[in-house]
A and B are shown apart, each in its own frame.
Chain A
Amino acid sequence: MASDQPTQRPVERPPTGRFDRMPAEPPLAESLDWDAIERDADYQELRARRGRYIAPAAIICFAAYFGFLVLAVNDRGLLGNRITGGFTLGYLLMVILFLIVWAVVIGYAHIGRTRWDPHVERLCADARGGDQQPPAAPLAATGTSPAVGTREGLTR
């Protein structure tokens, strides 16, 4: 029994080594010039475009929320004005706050899908075309490697 143990272990190890295979991270992290991508004007433009949505949208949401809180605590008479039945200005503002949050979040998702994602795809294609696969274009052009051709076709 005792002599079985050491012989079993090496047999057991290889199939469980999925953990070592899975992340493509260490080689990729070293092969890519992250600083060059970060300096790239296209990348900077992507960050700026995201910032141009996020900054005003965040300010609107947080200002509306905290403004509403402060107003509620300090002027209960104003927010207690009835509009119809027992429906007061306070409840109306609360519903408006919900609508603002929904609009900002849905707008973010929409712009992300239609603007930023295509931008990122372009950026990735450039990064890979430049650093990763220099021979890809000539190979695809001469048609010697159909595999490369189909992969390029997928990315477009």
Chain B
Amino acid sequence: MTGANGFTIAVFAILLALTVWILVRSTRGGRNATQFWAAGRAITGPQNGVAMTGDFLGAATMLGSVGLILLYGFDGALYSVGWLVGFVAVLFFVGERLRNAGRYTIADALTIRLGQRPVRCAVAANTLLISVLLLVTQLLGAGLLLKALVGIDYRIAVVITAVAFLCYVVVGGMVSVTWLQIVKATLLGGITLVVAIWVLAKSGFDPGELLARAAGHAPQGDRYLQPGLYLTNTVDTVSLGIALVFGVAGLPNLLMRFFTVRDNGAARSSVSWAVVLIGILYLLTFIIGLGARAYLTPSEVTAAGPSGNLAAPQLVQQLAGGVGSWGGNLFLAVFAAIAFATALAYVAGVVITAASAASHDIYASVIRGGTISDREEVRMARLTTVGIAIVGVLLAFAVENKNIVFLAGFVYAVAASTNFPVLVLALGWRRFSTVGAVLGVVFGVVSALVLTVLSPGVWPGDHPPVGLTNPALISVPLGFIGCWLGSVLRPDPAAERKFAQLAVRATTGIGAEPTTSPVGTLRPGRAVG
């Protein structure tokens, strides 16, 4: 499995050339804050849909899903469905309205009606927390993957990944991040499609046959086709479902993508593209996971690791001719390169989100009170990007041998308990106040954190005080309660007065930030007074 070969170097070189070409092209649009943070708002709906697919699917997500299906069959597939349903929440409750209301960050939209300093600080701190945790989990995944597939040292792999994403973000900003996501999603979709068709061809293009064969090879036998191998408890499962569905609607790196499109119509179409593409990719992933169970030998299943994360590369290698064969080496190299591109694009998207919170929300808007020149804002953006990358690398070093599986669920729970309630209430509840928003974020983060620490996955003792594996069932309602409590205790007449402005702007796009691209024209009736 391990060891670089000639193919690996060749394929990585091709990938490098491709991404450098993107980088060069993406610097053409000029340099101002709108270009850096929002790609000039000139990305089209379908392009953004593909980029959103890339933003959402990390290497860990795809490999993890294959592994879960290999090990737990039906429940592995069931786990992934929640994310897809989450996009319905994105589309209905945030999506196009956020595009109309916002500028570069979520806080830009909220502070149209809510108090600048407190809300920006709370929301930006929360965005930083979510982004840095996502960054660490993905860097860990990328490092371990490169170590396993290419055979380089974990720390070197992490540093290579960090240097690579820094180049894209610092030089090209959101434009190069977007195109990196598009290329990555296309490559990832391509190899997923090829492997899935290969697996299906081996089973005569009959899903029933594939499933039967997988069950025949599973240690659980027929139980492999039934639910109950991974998700065993109703309360835990529903809690996980809530975290996945509403967490997607609160993920800052995904929401930031909405500011890159021309108008709300493009925001809407980008979500429908993303939902269709992600749905297809998940169905293909199910086929690959089942194929891994049906066709991998017991020793290969063992080599896929305790969580099955390396099942997909094992399957690719075997289908293409086996260990050491010409085809096996070639496909493994291609797979490793795409997995690396996947991780790279994902962390680039996360880092630019974190930088937007630190640089645009906290530095430019709170510390400097918005009186910052465009050039200075871009310079600060680059500096914060480097700073966040360094923090991410150091944290990734620290967690090398730790089990941080719980972090993924925790991140989604935090996003679902903070950004989701705050955004929905800011857009929909007239009496929602500044203190309500701050209290909502605090309640959401603290409750998710405390409940996770006390949960079975993290608590060191044998009897965890809380039985819930994912905190969302309690922390999401607590997030809403925090919003309500703060709004009732400290009403905010200014926020109430400006409710109409935010609601009308979000619904109609009157006053929405225009595209700065010279190519596009403004839609009639919008943005121009």
Contact = CB atoms under 8 A, between A and B. Distances in A.
Contacts of B87: 101, 105
B356 to A, nearest CB: 15
Contacts of B354: none
A54 B88 CA distance: 10
Contact of A70 (B214, B238, B245, B279): B238
Nearest to A47: B507
Interface string A111-140: 011000100110111011000100000000
Interface residues of B, number: 79
Contacts of A132: 529
Contact of B88 (A46, A68, A101, A125): A101
Given A29-B511, A120-B508, A66 B238 contact: yes
B518 interface: no
B34 A94 contact: no
Interface in A66-93: 66, 68-70, 72-74, 76-77, 79-80, 82-88, 90-91
B510 A124 contact: yes
Q: Is the interface of A mostly helix, strand, loop or mixed?
A: helix
Contact of A108 (B91, B214, B232, B241): B91
B234 A85 contact: no
A124 B92 contact: no
A72 B78 contact: yes
A1 interface: no
A148 interface: no
Given A18-B32, A88-B211, A124-B526, A62 B85 contact: yes
Nearest to A17: B373
B268 A31 contact: no
Q: Is the interface of B mostly helix, strand, loop or mixed?
A: helix
Contacts of A124: 508-510, 524-526
B91 A105 contact: yes
Interface string B488-529: 000000000010110111011111011010000001111111
Interface residues of A, number: 72
Given A16-B373, A18-B374, A155 B245 contact: no
Contacts of A57: 88, 92
B68 to A, nearest CB: 14
A86 B210 contact: yes
A31 B529 CA distance: 9
Contacts of B272: 105-106, 108-109
Given A80-B225, A128-B525, A113 B265 contact: yes
A39 B282 CA distance: 44
Given A18-B374, A73-B232, A82-B225, A106 B276 contact: yes
Contacts of B504: 34, 37-38, 43
Interface stretch (B11-19, B156-164, B201-209): B201-209
B238 A94 contact: no
Contacts of B85: 61-62, 65, 97, 101
B374 A17 contact: yes
B148 interface: no
Given A38-B500, A54-B92, A88 B74 contact: yes
B209 A85 contact: yes
Contacts of A34: 498, 500-501, 504-505
A154 interface: yes
Contacts of A127: 510
B78 A94 contact: yes
A108 B268 CA distance: 8
A120 B264 CA distance: 11
A2 interface: no
Nearest to B224: A86
A101 B275 contact: yes
A35 to B, nearest CB: 5
Contact of A79 (B74, B507, B527): B74
Contact of A94 (B77, B222, B237, B269): B77
Nearest to B211: A86
B113 to A, nearest CB: 10
A109 B509 CA distance: 17
B42 to A, nearest CB: 14
6 contacts: A46-B508, A66-B238, A73-B231, A76-B226, A105-B275, A106-B276
4 shortest interchain CB distances as A-B pairs: A85-B208, A86-B211, A124-B525, A86-B212
